[in-house]
């Protein structure tokens, strides 16, 4: 009996050692980092959130007509290539149905007016010939195919509202780590996630909402494998850049809206007003730049 107890303890110790070795081998590496720096080499780190308005002139190359970055992300989700997440913690995935629901803006009001009905609007759902060669509604036709649930879901969504265009989604948030690597004696902007925001004027309740978040590590591979994912170079159309290279070269302008803090508050909330938040954002940019430069002073 004593031998069995000793053997059991030995096996448990071996199993624990194997698990501990596995944890130790993975410890210190951020799984979201494209080029991870071991935590033992990180001398200083801040997590920053940047807001990119894609309508700004500096960001318009990311938002060129037909090649909007938001279009590529939406197409990637619909094709099943990209995995969308609920928020920038990227811990909870969302389904394609949920993604489509968030992307759909519901119709408001009580329907069409009498003048609009008499003008022929909405006749495609009345079951009669609308004069353009169509008889019956798309919803009725779709409902006949009971096996195609995805088409039914799309038809139902179209009956309740319309899907937002990629050009409507002009706000994205970039979450990144500002890291100083003491081994290489340089700083890194390590992008973690990119989040598409639904502007408040397109939201049903007038509040800005998140459409989906994506791991930048996955996006980088997606961009490089897709030659259509370009940063549009208006100065020289022979030298468009891939979106992965554009982010690597920091070819965008993003205002800092939050830095890591105990209460997880945005700068506007910390400093009580958008004006004060903007001023602090600019000040923070200068402080980070000055901090790096002062490391080499003697």
The alpha carbon torsion through 71, 73, 77, 78 (nearest 10 deg) reads: 10
Distance CA(73)–CA(173), nearest Å, equals 13
**At 77, is the secondary structure helix, strand, or coil?**
helix
| Contacts of the segment 233-239: beta carbons below 8 A, 24+ positions apart | 233/61, 234/61
Residue 174 tokens, joined: 């970039």
- Mean pLDDT across 226-250: 95
pLDDT (0 to 100) of residue 152: 43
Rg (CA), the chain: 26
Q: pTM higher than 0.85 for the full model?
A: no
Q: Do 59 and 52 form a contact (C-beta atoms < 8 A)?
A: yes
pLDDT in tens, 117-136: 566 665 544 455 555 555 44
- Taking the CB of residue 34, how many other CB atoms lie within 10 A of it? 19
**At 66, is the secondary structure helix, strand, or coil?**
coil
pLDDT in tens, 74-112: 999 999 999 999 999 999 999 999 999 999 988 765 555
pLDDT (0 to 100) of residue 14: 39
Q: Are strands 171-181 and 186-198 parallel, antiparallel or unpaired?
A: antiparallel
> Over 90: is that where the pLDDT of 223 sits?
yes
> Over 70: is that where the pLDDT of 281 sits?
yes
> Over 70: is that where the pLDDT of 200 sits?
yes
């Amino acid at each position: 009996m004593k031998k069995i107890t000793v053997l059991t303890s030995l096996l448990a110790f071996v199993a624990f050692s194997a698990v501990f070795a596995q944890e130790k081998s993975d410890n210190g590496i951020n799984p979201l980092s494209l080029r991870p720096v071991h935590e033992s080499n990180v001398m200083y780190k801040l997590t920053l959130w940047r807001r990119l308005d894609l309508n700004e002139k500096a960001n318009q190359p990311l938002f060129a007509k037909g090649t909007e970055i938001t279009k590529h992300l939406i197409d990637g989700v619909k094709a099943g290539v990209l995995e969308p997440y609920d928020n920038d913690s990227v811990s909870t995935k969302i389904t394609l149905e949920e993604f489509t629901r968030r992307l759909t803006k519901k119709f408001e009001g009580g329907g069409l007016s009498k003048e609009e009905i008499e003008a022929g609007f909405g006749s495609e759902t009345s079951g009669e010939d609308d004069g353009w060669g169509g008889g019956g509604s798309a919803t009725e036709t779709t409902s006949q195919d009971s096996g195609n649930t995805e088409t039914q879901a799309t038809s139902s969504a179209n009956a309740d509202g319309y899907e937002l265009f990629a050009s409507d989604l002009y706000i994205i948030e970039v979450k990144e780590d500002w890291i100083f690597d003491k081994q290489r004696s340089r700083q890194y902007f390590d992008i973690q996630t990119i989040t598409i925001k639904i502007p408040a004027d397109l939201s049903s309740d007038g509040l800005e909402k998140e459409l989906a978040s994506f791991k930048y590590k996955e996006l980088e591979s997606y961009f490089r494998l897709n030659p259509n994912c370009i940063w549009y170079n208006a100065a020289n159309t022979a030298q468009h850049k891939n979106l992965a290279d554009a982010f690597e070269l920091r070819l965008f302008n993003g205002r800092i809206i939050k830095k890591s803090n105990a209460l997880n508050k945005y700068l506007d909330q910390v400093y009580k007003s958008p004006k004060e938040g903007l001023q602090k954002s600019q000040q923070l940019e200068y402080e980070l730049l000055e901090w790096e430069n002062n490391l080499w002073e003697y």
